[in-house]
Copies of this chain bind each other. A is one copy, B any other.
Amino acid sequence: MNDIVTAGILVIGDEILSGRTKDKNIGFIAEYLTNIGIDLKEVRVVADDEADIIAALDALRSRYTYVFTTGGRGPTHGDITADSVAKAFGVGIDLAPGFKIGNVIVMAGVPSIMQAMMDIVAPKLKSGVRMLSDTVRANAREGDIGGPLREIANAHPDTIIGSYPFQDEDKKPNTNLVVRSRDPEKLQAAMNAVKQMLADLNVLR
- How many chain A residues touch B (CB < 8 A): the figure is 55
Answer yes or no: A164 CB below 8 A from chain B CBs. Answer: yes
Chain B binder among A23-31, A87-95, A118-126, A182-190:
A23-31
Q: Given A73-B162, A153-B77, verify A22-B27 contact (CB < 8 Å).
A: yes
Selecting from A98-106, A138-146, A196-204, the interface stretch reads: A138-146
A18 touches B30 (CB 8 A): yes
Where chain A touches its partner, the secondary structure class is mixed
Q: In chain B, what residue has the closest Cβ to A20?
A: B178
By a CB distance below 8 angstroms, the chain B residues around A150 are: 76-78
A-B interface, 10 closest residue pairs, ranked by CB to CB distance from nearest: A19-B31, A19-B30, A43-B45, A22-B27, A75-B146, A76-B163, A75-B143, A17-B40, A76-B146, A18-B34
